[in-house]
Each structure stands twice: as C-alpha cells, then as structure tokens.
Structure 1
Amino acid sequence: MDTAPHQGRIWPTVESIPVSAVTDKPPGHLGPVRTEDVAGAVGTGRDTTGGAGAATGVGTAGARPRGARANPADELGFSGDPEQRGDPGDDMLHAQRVWDGTLAANRLDAAGVAAERQRVATADVTASVSLIVDGRPDDVRASIESVLEHTDAHVVALDLGDVDGAGEVLHKLALRHPDRITEWRVAETPHWRGGSATWGACRAKLLRLDTSEVHVLMETSVVLTGDALTPLVAAVADGAVAAGWHGLERPPEGAVTPPDDTEAAQGGLERQLIGAGWREAGPGRVRALRGDLMAVRRSAAISALPEDARDGENADLELSMALKGELVVPSDRLPVRHLRRHG
C-alpha cells in the first residue's frame, strides 16, 4: 500500500479524501461464502467479554460467582482439586495424576497445532485493521501498538480533527512504522463529539481506501493481548462472511418496546428498534456481531454498511443483518480486552 502521497497531509473532510483504487474486486484467497440461513440462531450464553468466567446455564443453584475460578487446572483437563489432596502412595491417585497430565499436554498440543494450521491457512489472505481515531490518545497508542505487536495485519486509520492530540499520536506511529500503518487525517471532527464527520461516512471511506480481502473493524478502546485476528480471518477464509469477538442474539418476538414519539421524531427509529433487547451469544453461528472487533469480507461489507449512520449506535447490528452469509464467533476465547468504554 503506497503511503507517500498523503502521509501527514490533512484533508478538509472525510468526503474529500480521494479513492482511486478499485475497491470491489473479488476476494482472491477466500473460500466461497456459506449462505445458510442464520436467522433465529441462538448462542450458548457463554461469557465472551474476555473475562475468566463462564455462564453456568440452567439449573445451577449454588454455582460459583461469575468470574470465579475454583480450580483453574480443571480447564486443562485435571480432575483433582487445586491442592491434589490424597494419599501419595495410592496407586489409583498416581494413575489419575499421570492421566490428567497427559490430557493437559495433549490439549495444549492440540491448541498449538490448531493455531498453526490457522496461520498456514490464512498466510495468503490479506487483512487490514481499520480504526477511527477520535480522541483518547493513550488508548489510540495502546490499541495500535497491540496490533503491531501481536499480528502481521496492516493498520488503516482515519483521524478526525486531532481531538486531544490523538491524531498526532497516530501520525508519529505511522512515521515510525510506514510499512505497517497507513493514516488519513482530516480537519473535520466526529459527529458524536459535536462535529460533522459521521460514523457511516468514516467506515465507508476506510472500506474503499483499503484493498485487503478481509477488513477488520476495530475500536480504539480495544487492545489485543495475543493474536486475536488469525482465528477471525480463518473463519472468514473458511466460508463465513464475518467473524467477531462478540456475538449477539435477536430478542424474542414481541419483547421489544417501540420508542416513543419523541425518539421517533429525532430520527433513527429503525436503528433504535434494532438495538433493543439484543443479548450476548456465541460461540458458533450468531445472528449479529458487535463492531468492537469484527472481521468481514470487504467486498461484502461495501454494499452492506449503513453509510447513513451518524454515530455508530447499533450500526454494527445493521451491518450484520445486511450481510449475506454466516456470522460466527470462534470457539476459543480471543486474547482481547477493553481499555474502557468510549461513548
């Protein structure tokens, strides 16, 4: 990706940034999209927020609190308690410990083999992480550096008005890593912070400026603590139209209360209805994905993105429902965390 003509230049508006590349070319290294109907798919209720806890499901009276880990070794297949109490001379106990250790080693080996297979399978798939920079410079730095540290993906970032100096942070990182970061900077400030640049226009511009097969929507409130992108890209390469960190499940029919007339008069009635009552879902096939970390076939996203979305509220749900194909959350917990909530 050639960065020389615009690196460091400040454009007046998002719309004024020219797009000269052919942006709707067919994917070269992705498998065909699986188009099975995913409407009505339900998640497992598993906690996908990145914490240690797991949902306990139905009939779990007396279960440990969410986030508690009474026996971390159990997650690797050990059957004994944390202290492994018992008679050291007990042959059965010794055999059980040997078996537990073998299971744990096998699971770790399997995880490593699976990760390596994913890396090999996606080696030729091009992917870019797209960021909208709208302030909070420390978060911008941490988010971008985490992508550089843990992945090989290119970063395409759009700064809106250098809010709080965040654009300057992006610019310095781009100068330091010209082969990894492509920046665009505009004087226009974000709509959700009192300006005129809308979420839809920014995301649409980033999609068209990117030339990768897989376009990763990521928020600057998110940091990677490991390679969280390979499982997402692998799912897309395997036939999903999109894969993400957080899945969502549609609320039951009749469970949504329509907004009142005042809210409707302010516009975005459909967007408000879409966002009401959705619940966390996954792993596996889901009805929608959150846009905090979401990998999507770029050619599919160009026609599905809600370009009229002003501040991104529930726009990720609109994008999800407009995509034709399977949306999935990987089965393994992704190494990702939120820094803080961005309004």
Structure 2
Amino acid sequence: MSEVPPHVTALAERWTRARTGGDHAGERTLREEIEAEGWLVRALDEGFDLVPRPHFDVWPTVSSVPVSEAPRTEGRATGTVPLGEDSREAGRIDEAAAPGARPEHLDNLEAERVAETQAAPAQEPEGAELTGRAGKDLGDPERMLESQLLWDASLAVSRLDEEVTPVEPEEPVVPPTVTVALVVDGWPEDLLECVRAVVARTEARIVALDLGNVDGAGEVLEELVKEYPHRVEAWHVAEIAHWRGGSAGWGESRTKLLELDGSDVHVVMETSTILDGDAITPLVRALDDDVAAAGWKGVNPGEDGHDWHEAGPGEVKGVLGHLFAVRRDTALGAGGFSRDARYYRNADLEFSLSLPGTIVALDRDLPVHQERHRGYHDVDPAYRDRESSRTYDRVLGLLRST
C-alpha cells in the first residue's frame, strides 16, 4: 500500500479531534479534504486509519447512506421468487388468467375453440327457412304456426344466452419480490462463492453493504456488480465492522440493508452460507398465514431461559442469522434490527423475539451448507464473549416479557 503523505496524516489527526469533539461541520470538511487527496479516513477504537480511495463511490458511515422509498417490483421482474408454486407455472397462470388473453396464451384446445368461435359466421336458428325467405309459402296456417314456434324457441335460447353471467377471470398470481441481503466485512473469497451460488440457483436479487473494503472485498463486490448488473447492487462505506475495531455495528448495518431493500421478502444471509440448490423459494413459501419469518436453523430456549438448543423443523422461538427470510414490512414495523447489537451473535435471537407472528425453521429440508463461520471463529474470543453477553442480556429481558 502507498505511504500516506504527512500532510494527509495531519488532516486525519485534525479530523479525529473534530469528530471526538462533536464538531460535525469541521469533521465533514476535513474528510472531504482527505478524499480530495485520494485517501479515505475511518475511525477506529483508538485513533484512525487511512486507506487509498477506491474507484467506486464510498459513503463515510453506514448512517450516511441515503435511503429513498424503493419502488416495489410489479409482476414477474428479475428478483421475484414465486410463493407456493413453480416459477414456470406462475408465468403460465399470469398469461392464461389475464383479462383479454389472446388465444395463443390458452392451452391448445381452448385456443382452437376461441379461434373457431371468433371466425364462425353468425348462425340462424334451425328452421329459419320457414320465416319469410323468398320462394317459401307463408300463407299456409300450419306452416306459419310451425315457423312461429321455431322462432319463439330460438328467441328463448338467445335470451337465455344473454342472461348467463360470464365467469370473470381470476386475478393473476403475482409472486412476492425477494432480496438477499449481505453484510460484507472482509473475506472476498467467501463473498465470491456465496454470491455466485445465489445467482446460479435462485431468481432473487442481491443487495450488499461493504464495510471498509477490508482485504479488497469491496473491490470484489464491484466486480460482481459488473458481472451481474441486473442481480447485484452494492453500497460501500468507509467504516469497518465494530468487531474489527471500527464503528459499524451489525444491527445498524442490517437495518440499513432492510431500509435499502424494496422487496416484499428480505433474506438475511451470511457470506459463509453457500446454497447447494434453491434454498430461498422454500423459505418464501413458508411465509404463509401468520408466519413472519422462516429460517434454515431454528432454536428454542431451555426451561431456565439461559441455554438455547437447536430445534428440528417446525415452529421455533428464534432463527439463526446464517439464513432466514422475513416479511420486510413486518421487520420494519418491529423497528428492524437492534442498533445496540454491535456484533452478530445473539442479535439474531433478539430480532426474532421482537417479531410479531409465528417463526418456523426448515432445517434439514434445505439444500444449503456453511463453510468456515469466520464471523465466529476468526474473531477475538474476548471480544466475541463480551459482545455476545451484552446482547444476550437484552434477549433475556425479551424472554421474560413474552
């Protein structure tokens, strides 16, 4: 990495003093000066860090990323996953059930019948030759009576046809839109494998929040955006994850992703989770009736409330953050993820307990596996235990209140 020029270091030192002193205008001005010199400054627990400014846009903090009302995708656009049916079936339903559907969108027999009906000339009632065509004897009373009876019968049939109310076509089934959300805090190889598996095995779109371009993970994310421009969306911030000594918390980052997402279903996923097949659609289908969230792995508390144990498929108290789907509106209504959760561990339980409605786990039924869970194993044990305990105190409070 390039050596930081002394004058940029001096600017960063002034930036740190402005930040800790609450001088927000001075902090912003100094940060812009540092960026103009080709560097990014980010806060650490002790002091600051300076890194070369990348070629893509970088926001200074997670909270500074702008959130606008994301338009909801209508119909079968990219990023939709059908709820309760195969996507190909959903497409056929949309076409066949749409008002004014053309014959070619029906099945073969129905299309032929519609075409025949539209092409056939108007038919006269049977016996119409008795009602006044040239060359017919209309003076015969018997012939006239017979003609009148046939005419009356044809009118009755015609009136009956008019009085039958046509069956209204059913509304087309519109599947929910789905987004997989990823927090990127390093380990670019994991990110690459995770994203490519999601793209290859599902129709879901992906939105990723890069924290600090650690080990070049942000640059890899940008390459994925170029490779899959209609599937992957990226946001970058200069902050690095709290567990790395930065200031970006897990709960804050997750809530920001939830706010940036405009889909019906929001999928929380870690980059260490790898899909072996379409594990997203079963989770979306499980969001039925009053089910607010459906996850891969579920857990339940023991009788004392302190020890949680893995649960099999079915209703559970909590789902783990490796992979779960949640109704986005429900999650936002519950306040999102706790901004007090600086580290992921137990924050997934805290989020689960805050949701109204039922939570279910699918467990062994999903085609998915996990590689090395770096967010646990590669984190300083003292930090991990301290932050896990801090969050779990809030979990116990929620358990007592339910």
| TM-score normalised by length of structure 2 | 0.54
- Determine the structure 1 residue equivalent to 2:85: 117
- Determine the structure 1 residue equivalent to 2:209: 158
- Is 2:249 the partner of 1:219? no
- Determine the structure 2 residue equivalent to 1:287: 317
Equivalent residue for 1:339, pick from 362, 371, 374: 371
Equivalent residue for 2:250, pick from 178, 186, 199: 199
Alignment partner of 1:11: what SS? coil
Equivalent residue for 2:281, pick from 227, 230, 248: 230
Equivalent residue for 1:299, pick from 312, 329, 336: 329
Contact 1:215 1:295 in 2 (8 A): yes
Deviations 1:198-252 (A, max 9, x none): 1111011100000001000000010101000000001114541000000001111
Distance 2:372 2:216 in 1: 18
Distance 2:211 2:182 in 1: 11
Deviation at 1:282, TM superposition (A): 2.2
Alignment partner of 1:197: what SS? coil
- Is 2:233 the partner of 1:182? yes
Contact 1:304 1:323 in 2 (8 A): no
Deviation at 1:13, TM superposition (A): 0.9
- Structure 2: stretches of 5+ with no match in the other structure: 1-54, 76-82, 91-172, 377-402
Distance 1:198 1:20 in 2: 22
Q: Which amino acid aligns with 1:9?
A: D
Q: Which amino acid aligns with 1:284?
A: G
| Identity among equivalent pairs (%) | 48
- Determine the structure 1 residue equivalent to 2:59: 11
Distance 1:116 1:150 in 2: 17
CA 1:289/1:28 → structure 2, altered by over 3 Å: closer, same or farther? Answer: farther
Contact 1:8 1:184 in 2 (8 A): no
Contact 2:296 2:366 in 1 (8 A): yes
Contact 1:243 1:330 in 2 (8 A): yes
Deviation at 1:22, TM superposition (A): 5.9
Deviation at 1:178, TM superposition (A): 1.1
Contact 1:283 1:329 in 2 (8 A): yes
Distance 1:172 1:278 in 2: 40
Distance 2:370 2:226 in 1: 26
Distance 2:355 2:220 in 1: 34
CA 1:316/1:226 → structure 2, altered by over 3 Å: closer, same or farther? Answer: same
User: How many residues are treated as equivalent by the alignment?
Assistant: 230
- Determine the structure 1 residue equivalent to 2:345: 313
- Structure 1: stretches of 5+ with no match in the other structure: 1-6, 30-114, 257-276
Q: Which amino acid aligns with 1:117?
A: E
Higher helix share: 2
- Is 2:373 the partner of 1:325? no
Distance 1:222 1:324 in 2: 26
Deviation at 1:307, TM superposition (A): 2.1
Contact 1:118 1:234 in 2 (8 A): no
Distance 2:74 2:364 in 1: 27
Contact 1:10 1:187 in 2 (8 A): yes
Deviation at 1:330, TM superposition (A): 2.5
Alignment partner of 1:241: what SS? strand
Aligned CA RMSD, in angstroms, stands at 2.5
| TM-score normalised by length of structure 1 | 0.63
> Following superposition of structure 1 onto structure 2, how do residues 89-100 of structure 1 map, counting pairs within 5 Å?
none
- Determine the structure 2 residue equivalent to 1:103: none
> Following superposition of structure 1 onto structure 2, how do residues 78-97 of structure 1 map, counting pairs within 5 Å?
none
Distance 2:356 2:85 in 1: 27
In our comparison, the structure showing a higher alpha carbon Rg is 2
Distance 2:74 2:286 in 1: 16
Distance 1:330 1:136 in 2: 28
Deviation at 1:186, TM superposition (A): 0.8
- Determine the structure 2 residue equivalent to 1:48: none
Equivalent residue for 1:171, pick from 222, 225, 234: 222
Q: Which amino acid aligns with 1:169?
A: V
Structure 1 stretches of 4+ moved >6 Å: none
CA 1:308/1:169 → structure 2, altered by over 3 Å: closer, same or farther? Answer: same
CA 1:194/1:301 → structure 2, altered by over 3 Å: closer, same or farther? Answer: same
Deviation at 1:305, TM superposition (A): 2.0
